[in-house]
Amino acid sequence: MIERTLGFRDYVGDYQRQLFLIDHAGLPLKTVLEQLDVLGEEVVPVLRREFAALKPAHVPEAPTHASLVAAAGGTKDATVYAAADDVTGQAREEVEA
């Protein structure tokens, strides 16, 4: 599995995200949990190490939540308020007053 995954970069280039399908076709929970353990303890550490060693200098670091928040200008209230309450019909300003 490790060699196959490392081989993906040969035809797709450098990439920053990998999706693993673990809970497929009704596998028993015990099997899924065992696969997660193997993935986290044996596979992912090797993939991270190998991809980091092979990454060309021109490839940027993968974005993290912290880097995306900083690029957007820092933390801010991202709550989207409805124009009016669906039940009472009152606008937000009327409720706060």
Domain ranges of the chain: 2-72
- Position 2 scores a pLDDT of 92
pLDDT at 72 over 70: yes
Report residue 80 as tokens: 């989207």
Direct distance between the N- and C-terminal alpha carbons of the chain, in angstroms, rounded to an integer? 61
- Position 49 scores a pLDDT of 94
Residue ranges in the chain assigned as alpha helix (H): 2-12, 29-38, 44-54, 65-71, 92-96
Say whether 50 sits in a helix, a strand or coil.
Answer: helix
Residues 71-90 have a mean pLDDT of: 77
Region of poorest pLDDT, from 1-10, 12-21, 22-31, 71-80:
71-80
- Position 84 scores a pLDDT of 74
